[in-house]
Structure 1
Amino acid sequence: MLDSSSYLLETARSLVLNPKDPPTWSILAGHSRTVSDSIKSLITSIRDKAPGQRECDYSIDNINKCIRDIDQASLAAVGQTLPCRDDISMEALQEQLTSSVQEIGHLIDPVSTTARGEAAQLGHKVTQLARYFDPLIVASMGLASKLHNHQQQMTILDQSKTLSESALQMLYAAKEGGGNPKACHTHDAISEAAQLMKEAVDDIMVTLNEAASEGGMVGGMVESIAEAMGRLDEGTPPEPEGSFVDYQTTMVKCSKAIAITAQEMMTKSITCPEELGGLASQVTVDYGQLAHQGRLAAATAEPEEVRSHALCPMERCVLFFEMTPLP
């Protein structure tokens, strides 16, 4: 860029001495184009070599491969030719899939935060996120192959694909943001992608929890609640975006929802026990959201007493699950 600029200035000096020389004007135009192209090339090089860009590209390629794999499995399921996995139990596949989805859910906010203002951590976080999609897809295809209900097969595969596609959107937005706090035009897209990922995680967790409850496997839901409780002791997520009042309002909403669902479970355990699975799944999802909002509330609470109450563990949810018999 500097060389071409120097040639441009030398040519311009020649034109000052002889402004009516057509060949010199042509040379000037050539140097001008070279300067423009070299500036564009330099900008592209700076963007491509920025921290986290290479990792974003690798992660995007990995998740695109996962989406192609799940598409092939969906086509096989439609044609009823999806090969059944006989080397592992359905329970183990459900646990693997649940674990992968939960880990992905835990990484959504860290990736979103680094994409908006922590360039040095962006590469590590996106790589960590993409790493869970291979086991996610393998487990979802394996679980679908063991399900006899065609609709359940397609639900698992479709929701896994939706989660992968939302993660792909997140990675594209993160790559564009680059961890640059001044790139405000990218922040809305990052936040939108993060919200879509959270919704996809919630949807597939509801499906998995319902499947687990139908099979009498309540332990997975208890573990999910216990894990959410454990994360209360890990500190608060970085850079909460809302105020204490915002998080307090959401916590109250989640708490009321849990209370209503718990009461309904007590009633259904006598009248319609077959509906307990879906209700138990809803409690699990609501409690996970409650715990997450509690951490954010603690980060924005001023008095120490209020902070400690926001992080108070709620063991009663776990006890309620252990004492409520599901069919």
Structure 2
Amino acid sequence: MRGIVLVAADFAPSTALGMVAEELRSRGESATFISGKGEIVLPEDTTVVIAGMAHSPEMAQGELGALRQAVRKGIPIGLYADTFDCAGREWFAEARKNTQFLIVPTEKEKTKALELFPRANIVATGNPLWEASVFPESTRAEVRKRISMTEDQIVIFCPLRKESHINREHLWLVRQALERIDNEKILVVVTGHPGDETYKENPDAYRPLFPANAIQLVGTTLVKELLPGTDVVIGAGSGAGIDAIYQRVPVIDVMTELVLNEVERLHRRRVWQPVEDGSSIGIKNVEELVSALEQVTSGAGKDRLLAAQEKAYPRPTHPKQAVHAMVAEIQEWI
């Protein structure tokens, strides 16, 4: 039996590789997903290892340990770089020369990775989690009814990040901008991040910063479930904004120094890729946020933004397109 081992530590690549493992098993392969949070011992029947690329050296230790074991045993290894500039994370530099294949989400990420992985087969498959946003389970009307939104309201969705200091700045900017716009039809919907310690300790911690007409959804509500009913997303360089792009919802990203510091730490570059692509509008202050909101709530400005999203992030034709492409590449190495 051919043993395929998939390893990841971070939530998003873990979820994606779990989906891939399930698809492999449905095709009769022996596929095992192992959490990268801790020491890993590869099964004796391992014939190929594919690992995620965690966001920090500390989180990546399990993934790196699995890769080192595979290299010592002469087992082919692959990497899954699930997001922007992920392939360039320096703590995976030791694995580059031995990497047989690299899976990235877009053609632009493939181009960036070529000089880092000159010997690897690099394939742009899409990201299973991003692409899942294309196929929401609810309609706009159903989402709005579920959370008591009327059709004439302008719904602004503010998904928060893990970092409390960024969340406070994010909400302050939104509050200041909406006070200037003063449109009673605007409703702001806020969701906390499950990885935010401040939010976990006190779900009401950010309420004093909310705009006047705002609600917070807590519990198990998923970002993807809310997007069909949303008119605008104001994020801060997070995955929720990417989900919105795939649903063709206008996105504005807070790109202050605090946010750019975190983007640079995670992605090696001081730029958020969707802003560079023109798929999201980057703002640094209240004035720019007011202007961006005026753009995306007008016909022409919104149309230009959605056209840029379509060009940079084409949507899949079926829900498992990325998973199937990832499986096809992995099967080439067993």
Alignment TM-score, normalising by the size of structure 2: 0.20
Alignment TM-score, normalising by the size of structure 1: 0.21
As a proportion of its length, which structure holds more strand? 2
